[in-house]
Amino acid sequence: MADPRQRGKAPRRAGGDGVPDVYCADEQDSHPVDVARWRDLAVAALLEQGVRGGCELSLFFVDETTISELNQEHMGKPGPTDVLSFPMDGLDVVAEGQGPGAVSRGPARPHPDPDDAPTMLGDVVVCPAVAHGQFAGHAGTYDDEIALLVVHGILHVLGFDHAVPSEAADMRSRERAILEAHHWHGPAPAGFRQEHDE
């Protein structure tokens, strides 16, 4: 069996120096979503990770019924979750528990080289109703929770994971750096947490 970490002889490149295209849609009506704001954060997160023009990502905000159906169909888990990521570059995805990014690239995968990014990066699906229900014990505010879920989902699409402590520390560090640079424009608030209560 071939090593799943090998991507072939010639890496796929996200062509050009431009800005990645992010399609963003609010397909729910239970909680307010500033589509332009979260699209801008998604673009900033991609740029921060070295992804440039010539590629696309979709960011959807959906209701609990829709995310429950996706969670059951793709993750084999009943009920709603906060965010799901669907990479389009052939990475295997496995369930990784409840919490931000209930999707993983699987163990023993190297972190991606941004130059290897495919044309279609993937989809990130966020459920504002779940985010609203958990923000107090997690990120601290509804806006901070949505921001964390958007960035977390994008990092999963790019191949990052939190299955083992070293990967989790790297992923959380990247999340915090992106949020401090592009969401808060300064240090994280004192009450911000990236881990769920157990």
Encode the chain (198 residues) as per-residue pLDDT tens digits.
Answer: 333 333 332 223 344 568 999 999 999 999 999 999 999 999 999 999 999 888 899 999 999 999 999 999 999 999 999 999 999 854 333 333 334 444 444 444 555 565 554 489 999 999 999 999 999 999 999 999 999 999 999 999 999 998 889 999 999 999 999 999 999 999 999 889 887 543
User: How high is the pLDDT of residue 107?
Assistant: 42
194 inside domain: no
The CATH number linked to 64 is 3.40.390.30
Q: What is the DSSP pairing of strand 21-26 with strand 56-61?
A: parallel
Q: 79 lies in which domain range?
A: 21-106+115-182
Q: Within a domain: residue 7? A: no
- Structurally, the chain folds into a number of domains equal to 1
Global pTM reads 0.78
Beta bridge partners of 94: 104
**196 within a domain of the structure (yes/no):** no
Distant-in-sequence, close-in-space partners of 89: CB < 8 Å, separation ≥ 6: 12, 117, 118, 121, 122, 159
117 touches 51 (CB < 8 A): yes
The answer to whether 171 and 119 have CB atoms below 8 angstroms apart is no
